[in-house]
Amino acid sequence: MKIEISNKLLHEVEADIKVVFVVDKNFEHKWVEDKEELEFLGFKGESEEALLLPHKKTIYVGCENLEPDEIRLACAKALTQTKKTKAKTLKIGTYSHECPGTNIKAMAEAFGLADYSFELYKSKKEPTSLESITICTDDYNGVGVSMETATKAISVGTIIAESTNFAKDLVNTIPFEMNSLKLEEVAKSLESIENVTCKAYGKEFLEEQGMGAFLAVNRASHIPPRLLHVSYKPKNATKRVVYVGKGLTYDTGGLSLKPGDYMVSMKADMSGAAAVLAILQGAAKLQLPYEIHAIVGATENAIGPEAYKPDDVLVAKNGKTIEVRNTDAEGRLVLADCLCYAQEQKPDLLIDMATLTGACVVALGEYTTGIMGHSESLKNELHVTSKKSGELTGILPFNRYLKKLLKSSIADMSNISSSRYGGAITAGLFLSNFIEDEYKDKWLHLDIAGPAYVEKDWGYNQCGGTGAGVRMNLYWLIEQSKNEQNCEK
């Protein structure tokens, strides 16, 4: 499906279907031509409500307001409705925003995100007729947006959607295929983008580096571990941003085995890895002026005679010792070593992304990412930016008392808290033990356990992998680099 731009007026453009947004519940918009019919058919104009008038070849979609995330939801709704018809072409006007280009970017993003489907394992693919969408710069006011701004907005929105969809594909692929070696292939394939290089390290390297925590998690797997390091280094980069992703290609729980119904969906335990690779891909395609690193700790958490055990004591790369009390708290072990490695890159900003705890899902619900860290300003900045991207985040605060719950009588720390409460935060505090003082205020931990994989459609997300964290980070990087064409601040 192509997205095109036209500077003609909306009524001058030929298309099988026209999309019209309704904010005013009395339908008092100059662009609503079918007020009486809408009233007669009981259309309320509520958010995410859509009505197709076939004889008018028009889809009306309700919106709370004309801010970007309502526009995304409405575009997604319109696209899903249109794909049920035989329409080949769709057209939509531009609803003016104080920052020109903002809504067009949101439209391109939403159409790209909503058009995604994962049919790799279906013997019959869902047929679709829709070939192209035309976004008109016409804003019904005769003002509109310049072609240059609109073209740039569509290109940025499309890259953001494609990167998110790339992460979805990695997460949705079955664990039999998407193992550490396949992730290595995927990481290497990013080298086709300008200024991107990839290094893949195996067991020997991890041993040399003293990554005893990462190695222990891999011990029962018949597939070797991989530490993947993808770098995007544009000339004259002004900042170095290092991302670390949890790449558990399957999490059985290990010997602290998960019950059957909790194990289903644990193919998505590499969503952090998928997200950091996708962010790097997006940043490189957008040619952002930052050096970006995506570091992935890839392995399965399996069971077998070699498996690491509760009661084992592991030594991480920074020399700290960890008592294993639960082998299902494995992500933090892999991340501990990867975070030590990541700091050797001397980041200006260090962000880890992980489906780390069920407790985060309990705390915030399944749609929201938990943001943790020591810097109030960094946490707030990302929280505010995530709203613009349409992703939901909540800040979970560290405190000294929760930190004490990680004490161990036999090692420097335990891999689980001694309390059943505050599990997302204690996991974040565990990771903090592997962050040097120098980097404490440059580090954020994002727990994406809730939104990374949801077993139902929601908003413009499909059932399954969602690419959680990709959009908010790309928005943040774009914003920081001030490269944006529109004036979002």
Q: List contacts with Zn ion (CB under 5 A).
A: 248, 251, 269, 328, 330-331
Asked if 132 and 3 count as a contact pair (C-beta separation under 8 A), the reply is yes
The site partner of 359 among ligand BES, Zn ion, none (C-beta below 5 to 8 Å per kind) is ligand BES
Provide the minimum distance between the beta carbon of 419 and Zn ion in the complex, in angstroms, as a whole number: 18
Asked if 182 and 288 count as a contact pair (C-beta separation under 8 A), the reply is no
| Residue from 202, 234, 358, 394 binding ligand BES (CB under 6 A) | 358
Which residue, 248 or 295, has its beta carbon nearer to Zn ion?
248
Which residue, 258 or 320, has its beta carbon nearer to Zn ion?
258
Provide the minimum distance between the beta carbon of 331 and ligand BES in the complex, in angstroms, as a whole number: 4
Q: Roughly how many angstroms between the first and final C-alpha of the chain, as a whole number?
A: 31
- Phi-psi category of 262—alpha, beta or left, where left has phi over 0 and alpha has psi -120 to 50? alpha
Q: Fill in the DSSP letter of residue 458.
A: B
Q: How far apart are CA 444 and CA 449, in angstroms?
A: 15
Write the binding mask 294 to 333 for ligand BES: x where contact by CB under 6 A, - elsewhere.
--------------------------------x-xxxx--
| Residue from 17, 108, 351, 449 binding ligand BES (CB under 6 A) | 449
Among candidate residues 72, 182, 246, 332, the one labeled active-site is 332
The answer to whether residue 269 forms part of the interface with ligand BES (CB under 6 A) is yes
> How far lies 108's CA from each of 3, 72, 76, 196, 411, in Å?
7, 9, 10, 26, 52
Among candidate residues 88, 258, 320, 325, the one labeled active-site is 258
| Residue from 134, 149, 252, 355 binding ligand BES (CB under 6 A) | 355
Question: Residue 168's closest CA among 126, 226, 113, 106?
Answer: 113
Q: Supply the DSSP string of 361-414, one letter for each residue.
A: HHHH-TTEEEEEES-HHHHHHHHHHHHHHT-EEEE----HHHHHTT--SSSSEE
Handedness of CA 358, 364, 367, 369 (dihedral sign): negative
Annotated catalytic, 219? no
Provide the minimum distance between the beta carbon of 125 and ligand BES in the complex, in angstroms, as a whole number: 29
Which residue, 326 or 481, has its beta carbon nearer to ligand BES?
326
Write the binding mask 392 to 431 for ligand BES: x where contact by CB under 6 A, - elsewhere.
------------------------x------x--------
The site partner of 358 among Zn ion, ligand BES, none (C-beta below 5 to 8 Å per kind) is ligand BES
Asked if 158 and 113 count as a contact pair (C-beta separation under 8 A), the reply is no
Annotated catalytic, 105? no
Q: How far apart are CA 113 and CA 86, in angstroms?
A: 20
Which residue, 316 or 329, has its beta carbon nearer to ligand BES?
329
> How far lies 99's CA from each of 69, 110, 484, in Å?
14, 18, 11
The answer to whether residue 251 forms part of the interface with ligand BES (CB under 6 A) is yes
Q: Which amino acid is at 395?
A: I
Which residue, 294 or 356, has its beta carbon nearer to Zn ion?
356
Binding-site ranges for ligand BES (CB under 6 A): 251, 269, 326, 328-331, 355-359, 361, 416, 423, 449
Catalytic residue set:
258, 332
